[in-house]
């Protein structure tokens, strides 16, 4: 009976259900008095919000993580970020491999879905590599950060800070516990001119955001000297967005938030604020003080998001690249979208259009509703909604002041952004039968 029920559950359904269970467990733990710094029960809606933003690796917070939660609460958040970032199926596989348990075909299908892997062949071997890469990168980042922070705090505390922020930035959560040092909701603004902190955090965001498939190919590149079309598109598009965003932010903010900084500080800040919207979530400049042009640029970058197979949200850089490629092909009168002398199948273009349309509709809908429930301007609401959908975590200051209705709405957007609109659609409508016939072709005038 149990086996027959499991066989009827599709991979998207098991992933969605798994995240819901993880969030509910985290909410209960974070609402306990022992989880707060002052030993007082945290309202369930705030605990639920924090658990969701941690498991969905978003980073938006209604209470400052470092000053509100105790060490126990912070460890719960750390575990939620790790499980949410790598995927609960990946973490389950870790324990299965540790106890030498056989991975069934059904479980392999769930793993393939959770990692956006193109093939079922070698999926367990790939997951093993993902775990090794992830823990190695997180440990390296934690040690470097610990050494840097040991200059201003005891080494054991510096190591704890290093581990928390290394996991947070690699999983693209962006949550921080810097509040006790520099005040609530300040993120890394006090390290705006620190080359070590900036370099390590940006590298963690980049490695966590390009996706494990690309990461594996980049690590293997010195041996095989070959990259797949997917990796080429991800790396090239990510590079263009990163450098292009940094240049525009440098221009827009040169006489504003960048003005009091040294030249090196200006460069670090422009680069950091360009890579962070790609689902990183940390910031070294006060986002609310930026010009509207810069804030809108961040909205665009958050909407595009990270890469497939990563913990990041957004429509993904590959979707963005396909859309741009389709536009260029149409303008040139070409029928096919071509990257690196490789033609894309039509269903890839259709899927990219569908994801973009559904994503835009989601952001527009929730922006309209929140504009009615929250007393603030349109750009601030749109920024917060896009940040939640892109699982980015950057904020213009609205999230801590949300009403209970606003908190519930943002929770929904964060969950949709983490799971992906199409995954949720497949969860609700799992059995999509193919059409047995095609209708006659018709014509509609466009343009």
* Rounded Cα gap, residues 12 and 428, in angstroms: 9
pLDDT in tens, 377-410: 999 999 999 999 999 999 999 999 999 999 999 9
Query: Structurally, how many domains does the chain consist of?
Result: 1
* Rounded Cα gap, residues 53 and 417, in angstroms: 11
pLDDT at 326: 93
Q: Are 431 and 330 in contact (CB under 8 A)?
A: no
Asked whether residue 27 is domain-assigned, the answer is yes
Asked whether residue 445 is domain-assigned, the answer is no
Query: For 335-403, where are the alpha helices, taking DSSP H only?
Result: 346-373, 378-389
Q: Are 394 and 283 in contact (CB under 8 A)?
A: yes
* Rounded Cα gap, residues 103 and 392, in angstroms: 33
What six digits make up the tokens of 418?
A: 């983490």
pLDDT in tens, 51-70: 999 999 899 999 999 999 99
Handedness of CA 101, 105, 107, 108 (dihedral sign): positive
Asked whether residue 439 is domain-assigned, the answer is no
User: Confidence class of residue 86 from pLDDT cuts 50, 70 and 90?
Assistant: confident
307: left (phi over 0), alpha (psi -120 to 50) or beta: beta
Q: Taking 60 as the threshold, does the pLDDT of residue 225 lie above it?
A: yes
User: What value does the mean pLDDT of the chain take?
Assistant: 87
pLDDT at 281: 86
- Residue-level length of the chain: 447
| Beta-bridge mates of residue 36 | 69
pLDDT at 130: 81
Q: Are 88 and 19 in contact (CB under 8 A)?
A: yes
pLDDT in tens, 272-329: 999 999 888 899 999 999 999 999 999 999 999 988 878 788 999 999 999 999 999 9
- In degrees, rounded to 5, the angle at the alpha carbon of residue 392 between the alpha carbons of residues 391 and 393 is 105
Coil, strand or helix at 69: strand
pLDDT at 52: 95
Domain around 304:
9-426
User: Confidence class of residue 118 from pLDDT cuts 50, 70 and 90?
Assistant: low
CA distances 405 to 60, 94, 174, 288, 412, Å, are 16, 38, 24, 23, 11
Q: Are 278 and 301 in contact (CB under 8 A)?
A: yes
Asked whether residue 285 is domain-assigned, the answer is yes
Q: Are 78 and 164 in contact (CB under 8 A)?
A: yes
Asked whether residue 239 is domain-assigned, the answer is yes
How many CB atoms are closer than 10 A to CB 75? 15
pLDDT at 385: 97
174, 297, 304: which is closest to 238 by C-alpha? 304
Q: Taking 90 as the threshold, does the pLDDT of residue 44 lie above it?
A: yes
State the SS3 of 265-300: HHHHHHHHHHHHHHCCCCCCCCHHHCCHHHHHHHHH
Q: pTM of whole model > 0.85?
A: yes
What six digits make up the tokens of 66?
A: 């470092």
pLDDT in tens, 252-266: 999 999 999 999 999
The residue that leads in pLDDT, 108 or 67, is 67
pLDDT at 1: 43
Asked whether residue 437 is domain-assigned, the answer is no
Asked whether residue 394 is domain-assigned, the answer is yes
Q: Taking 80 as the threshold, does the pLDDT of residue 425 lie above it?
A: no
Q: Are 164 and 82 in contact (CB under 8 A)?
A: no
At which residue do the structure tokens 């670090």 appear?
Answer: 268
pLDDT at 316: 92
Asked whether residue 83 is domain-assigned, the answer is yes
Q: What is the dihedral of CA 46, 49, 53, 56, to 10 degrees?
A: 150
User: Confidence class of residue 109 from pLDDT cuts 50, 70 and 90?
Assistant: low
Q: Taking 70 as the threshold, does the pLDDT of residue 429 lie above it?
A: no
pLDDT at 116: 56
pLDDT at 223: 87
Instruction: Kindly tell me the burial class for residue 351, based on how many C-beta atoms sit within 10 Å of its own C-beta (0-12, 13-18, 19 or more).
Output: middle
């Amino acid at each position: 009976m149990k086996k027959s029920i499991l066989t009827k559950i599709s991979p998207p359904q098991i992933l969605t259900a798994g995240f819901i269970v993880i969030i509910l467990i985290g909410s209960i733990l974070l609402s306990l008095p022992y989880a707060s710094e002052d030993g007082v029960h945290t309202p369930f809606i705030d605990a639920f919000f924090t658990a969701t933003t941690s498991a969905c690796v978003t980073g938006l917070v209604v209470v400052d993580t470092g000053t509100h939660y105790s060490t126990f609460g912070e460890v719960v958040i750390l575990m939620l970020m790790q499980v949410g970032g790598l995927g609960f199926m990946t973490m389950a596989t870790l324990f299965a491999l540790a106890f030498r348990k056989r991975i069934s075909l059904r479980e392999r299908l769930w793993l393939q879905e959770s990692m956006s892997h193109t093939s079922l062949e070698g999926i367990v071997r790939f997951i093993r590599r993902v775990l090794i890469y992830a823990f190695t990168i997180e440990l390296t980042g934690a040690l470097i950060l610990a050494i840097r922070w040991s200059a201003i705090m005891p080494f054991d505390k510096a190591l704890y800070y290093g581990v928390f922020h290394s996991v947070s930035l690699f999983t693209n959560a962006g949550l921080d516990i810097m509040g006790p040092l520099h005040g609530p909701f300040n993120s890394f603004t006090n390290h705006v001119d620190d080359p070590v902190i900036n370099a390590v955090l940006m590298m963690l965001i980049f490695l966590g955001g390009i996706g494990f498939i690309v990461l594996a190919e980049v690590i293997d590149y010195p041996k095989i000297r070959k990259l797949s079309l997917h990796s080429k598109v991800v790396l090239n598009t990510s590079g263009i967005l990163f450098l292009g965003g940094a240049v525009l932010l440098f221009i827009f903010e040169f006489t504003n938030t960048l003005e009091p900084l040294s030249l090196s500080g200006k460069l670090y800040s422009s680069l950091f604020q360009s890579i962070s919207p790609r689902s990183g979530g940390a910031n070294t400049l006060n986002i609310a003080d930026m010009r509207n042009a810069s804030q809108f640029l961040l909205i665009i970058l958050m909407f595009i998001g990270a890469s497939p197979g990563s913990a990041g949200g957004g429509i993904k850089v590959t979707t963005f690249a396909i859309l741009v490629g389709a536009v260029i092909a149409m303008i040139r009168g070409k029928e096919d979208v071509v990257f690196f002398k490789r033609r894309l199948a039509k269903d890839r273009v259709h899927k990219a259009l569908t994801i973009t349309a559904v994503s835009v509709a989601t952001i527009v809908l929730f922006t309209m509703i929140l504009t009615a429930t929250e007393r603030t301007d349109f750009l601030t609401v749109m920024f917060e909604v896009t940040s939640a959908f892109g699982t980015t975590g950057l904020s213009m200051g609205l999230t801590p002041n949300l009403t209970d209705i606003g908190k519930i709405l943002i929770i929904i957007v964060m969950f949709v952004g983490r799971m992906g609109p199409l995954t949720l659609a497949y969860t609700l409508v799992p059995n999509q039968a193919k059409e047995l016939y095609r209708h006659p072709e018709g014509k509609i005038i466009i343009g």
